[in-house]
A and B are shown apart, each in its own frame.
Chain A
Amino acid sequence: MIEKEKTPEELLSERRDRFEKALKGLRPDRVPFLPLFHYFPAKYVGLSYAEYSLDYQKFSGAVLRVYQDFDFDAVGLALPGAAMTLPLNIIFTKTHPDLAVNIFTIARAFHDILMDKYTKWPGRELSPNAPAQFLGGRFMDVEEYDELARDPISFIAMKIIPRAYGALKEPASPEAYGALIKFGSESSKFASAFMDLMINLRKLGYPIYPIGLGYAPLDFIADYLRHVTHTLTDLYRYPSRVKAALDSLTPLISEWSRITISLPPEALASFDVKTPLVFIPLHLNEMLSPKLFKEFYWEPLKKVVVDLINSRAIPWIFFEGDYTPFLETLLELPKGSVVAYFERTDLRKVRRVLGDHVIVMGGLPPSLYILGAPEKVYEETCRLLNEVKEPGGFIFSGSGVSGVPDEARPENLRAAINALNKCGVYQ
């Protein structure tokens, strides 16, 4: 529960200090809680997933309720739907950097307008209470790797976009022009609703910080161009083609990612925490053998990450799956330069291998929040915190899977917060 005696201003400054200290690898008064959400807010207030992903007011209302009723330390991610479809952003890196960052495709309206084939949505292709699905797909043939390598922006703009977005399949048609105009106006509606949400969260006493986005270049190929399975087999069958494509995609993704955090000074001044965090969710990381991992996954990703560090941002890398075999790679990065958020990697092991080389973020298995009893959640949270919160620089995420699981029982989330207030305190 939120401590009622403190004013939002007091809470804000307390939480900002806590969060900033953790980001610096220090020991704040206690471990901060930075939650990420998919549909938990919808479930919590009793909204259908379809409404949540379609109606920005209802979405914002639900998120605010959750931040009001529970005590967190900063705003993680709360989005009304599936992953972004990035090809559309990437192509503007050179010509329209403002568009490269300001267009989002993470609410249903964008799918309705662009008819992308990457995603399916509740209330449209899916039942109203099914979570949105990012399916990806194969939008590029093996033969086209060379074309991708030669000029990624033109290739994606001319070939991939017409294939992947139904409304843009004939770029010079009235359908396509109309869709783009509608997309533009919807984007500004979404951006202003999202901005309002941030302002309202700040009024509740939650510090805000600039947030950017990054991607592992091989994941970009897997998610948006070739499909995961084909990408994996391409690594065995056509390694040099994939390599060439990565060589030209990597600088582009790095540049794009840096644009997502390049803010004019007056905009930066309005944030409570001034250091941008760049969220980078990884997909293929746990799937590759060490040899393939190093060459095709880690080296390109490392380039993106190091460029961000050199731009004074903190890469906030989400290691999906089990990263145990590759933990040592993080020692190649400067100490304290990234937030490493782990899904299934054992955090105790992380501490053993990495110590305080990275800022560690993570939580408990999702099934515990969904099926466990509050006492058990309390006990496990305390156990985890006691084992991993030292020597500082630890951020609690709730669960390892996407933060707070959609189906988490509210009393279990409460139990975790109570445990955090008890066992997350640094003596």
Chain B
Amino acid sequence: MSISEAFINSILELDERRAIELARVRISEGEDPLKILEELKTAAEKIGEKYERGEFFIADLVMAGEIMKEISELVRPRLRELGKTRELIGRLVIGTVEGDIHDIGKNIVVTMAEAAGFEVIDLGVDVPPWKFVEAIKQYKPDIVGMSCLITIGIESMKKTVDAIKEAGLRDKVRIIIGGGRVDEYAKEYSGADAWTNDAATGVKKMMEWMREKR
């Protein structure tokens, strides 16, 4: 088994100690940090697939997310030292909508989108519509993601999309919504472009949008 395979496998096995150990060794041996990040992306894709197949559960995604976060924190300073930057495939502004504080699902999306090569601006939880609008103005994202786990959030999503329209920014961004209380009704009502109950599918959709854009 190559070191790359061993590295990816250790993440898929949620073997935190081994994954971090391997990342350390590779960095200290002067391996290209961009390669490590590429492999994180592969790992994230495989994790998403495992989740879709019912082999992985949410706790597994949370743990995998922790491991990937720790590894990218190890790699980032090295990248900076070398004056390199990772090529980003797009920019995502994401938040849990007003009135809602659930963030486990949103955090999984953040890690998976980052691993896939998105720059992610995470606005946190209970995010009012105006904050989404401000963030769109400031960061000019390609995509806006909203997470919603309680029913009051359905109205908040609509208000947010309306505020984005009012600010004249609706045609600048694609909007995807996710979370336990999201379905076709919620998508239609809020005026978002896509919905999902699964982070991996959501990230795939976002990557598809980025390909269309190019």
> Is the CB–CB distance between A366 and B57 below 8 Å?
no
Instruction: Check if B167 is an interface residue, CB within 8 A of chain A.
Output: no
CB nearest neighbor in B for A131: B152
Docked pose: A236 CA to B14 CA in angstroms: 8
Instruction: Check if B162 is an interface residue, CB within 8 A of chain A.
Output: no
Instruction: Check if B191 is an interface residue, CB within 8 A of chain A.
Output: no
Instruction: Check if A287 is an interface residue, CB within 8 A of chain B.
Output: yes
Instruction: Check if B130 is an interface residue, CB within 8 A of chain A.
Output: no
Determine which of A131, A235, A344, A372 lies in contact with B185 in the assembled complex, contact meaning CB atoms within 8 Å.
Answer: A372
B56 to chain A, nearest CB (A): 7
B97-138 CB mask vs A (1 if < 8 Å, else 0) is 001010010010000000000000000001000000000000
CB nearest neighbor in B for A372: B185
Instruction: Check if A313 is an interface residue, CB within 8 A of chain B.
Output: no
Which residues of chain A are near B4, meaning CB under 8 Å?
none
A367 with B183: in contact, given A229-B104, A232-B59, A406-B152 (CB under 8 Å)?
yes
Docked pose: A366 CA to B182 CA in angstroms: 10
A292 with B59: in contact, given A367-B183, A368-B185, A371-B189 (CB under 8 Å)?
yes
Instruction: Check if B194 is an interface residue, CB within 8 A of chain A.
Output: no
Determine which of B66, B101, B155, B186 lies in contact with A135 in the assembled complex, contact meaning CB atoms within 8 Å.
Answer: B101
23 contacts between A and B (CB under 8 A): A130-B99, A131-B99, A131-B152, A133-B126, A135-B101, A228-B104, A229-B104, A229-B107, A236-B16, A287-B58, A287-B59, A289-B59, A344-B180, A367-B154, A367-B181, A367-B183, A367-B186, A370-B154, A371-B185, A372-B185, A401-B151, A406-B151, A407-B154
Docked pose: A264 CA to B108 CA in angstroms: 49
Docked pose: A371 CA to B152 CA in angstroms: 12
Q: Which of B35-61 contact A (CB under 8 A)?
A: 54, 56-60
Taking beta carbons and an 8 Å cutoff, which residues of A are in contact with B? 130-131, 133, 135, 228-229, 232-233, 235-237, 284, 286-290, 292-293, 321, 325, 344, 365-368, 370-372, 401, 405-407
A196 to chain B, nearest CB (A): 29
Docked pose: A321 CA to B105 CA in angstroms: 13
11 more CB-based (< 8 A) A-B contacts, given A133-B101, A371-B186: A133-B126, A135-B101, A232-B58, A288-B58, A289-B57, A292-B57, A367-B181, A370-B154, A371-B189, A405-B151, A407-B151
> Is the CB–CB distance between A366 and B58 below 8 Å?
no
B93 to chain A, nearest CB (A): 22
A372 to chain B, nearest CB (A): 7
Which residues of chain A are near B150, meaning CB under 8 Å?
131
Residue from the set A229, A292, A406 with the largest chain B CB neighbour count within 10 Å: A229
Docked pose: A292 CA to B16 CA in angstroms: 17
Residue from the set A232, A344, A372, A401 with the largest chain B CB neighbour count within 10 Å: A232
Determine which of B59, B66, B104, B151 lies in contact with A366 in the assembled complex, contact meaning CB atoms within 8 Å.
Answer: B151
Q: Is the interface of B mostly helix, strand, loop or mixed?
A: helix
Which residues of chain A are near B79, meaning CB under 8 Å?
none
Which residues of chain B are near A233, meaning CB under 8 Å?
62-63, 66
Which residues of chain B are near A325, meaning CB under 8 Å?
54, 57
Which residues of chain A are near B154, meaning CB under 8 Å?
367, 370-371, 407
A232 with B62: in contact, given A289-B56, A370-B151, A407-B155 (CB under 8 Å)?
yes
Taking beta carbons and an 8 Å cutoff, which residues of B are in contact with A? 14, 16, 54, 56-60, 62-63, 66, 99, 101, 104, 107, 126, 150-152, 154-155, 180-181, 183, 185-186, 188-189
B106 to chain A, nearest CB (A): 11
A169 to chain B, nearest CB (A): 23
A174 to chain B, nearest CB (A): 33
A122 to chain B, nearest CB (A): 10
Residue from the set B62, B99, B104, B151 with the largest chain A CB neighbour count within 10 Å: B151
A286 with B189: in contact, given A130-B99, A321-B180, A406-B151 (CB under 8 Å)?
no
> Is the CB–CB distance between B151 and A235 below 8 Å?
no
Which residues of chain A are near B186, meaning CB under 8 Å?
367, 371
Docked pose: A381 CA to B63 CA in angstroms: 39
Docked pose: A305 CA to B113 CA in angstroms: 40
Which residues of chain A are near B155, meaning CB under 8 Å?
407
A50 to chain B, nearest CB (A): 14
Docked pose: A145 CA to B154 CA in angstroms: 39
Docked pose: A284 CA to B152 CA in angstroms: 22
The 3 closest A-B pairs by CB, nearest first: A287-B58, A367-B185, A289-B57
A237 with B16: in contact, given A287-B57, A371-B185 (CB under 8 Å)?
yes
Which residues of chain B are near A236, meaning CB under 8 Å?
14, 16, 59, 63
Docked pose: A262 CA to B185 CA in angstroms: 45
Docked pose: A290 CA to B55 CA in angstroms: 10
Docked pose: A304 CA to B13 CA in angstroms: 32
Which residues of chain A are near B60, meaning CB under 8 Å?
289
Docked pose: A401 CA to B182 CA in angstroms: 12
Docked pose: A135 CA to B150 CA in angstroms: 13
> Is the CB–CB distance between B180 and A235 below 8 Å?
no
Which residues of chain A are near B101, meaning CB under 8 Å?
133, 135
> Is the CB–CB distance between A366 and B181 below 8 Å?
yes
A229 to chain B, nearest CB (A): 6
B18 to chain A, nearest CB (A): 13
CB nearest neighbor in B for A286: B58
A231 to chain B, nearest CB (A): 9
CB nearest neighbor in A for B155: A407
Determine which of A288, A367, A370, A401 lies in contact with B57 in the assembled complex, contact meaning CB atoms within 8 Å.
Answer: A288
Which residues of chain B are near A401, meaning CB under 8 Å?
151, 181
Which residues of chain A are near B63, meaning CB under 8 Å?
232-233, 236
CB nearest neighbor in B for A120: B101
Which residues of chain B are near A365, meaning CB under 8 Å?
183, 185
Docked pose: A135 CA to B185 CA in angstroms: 27
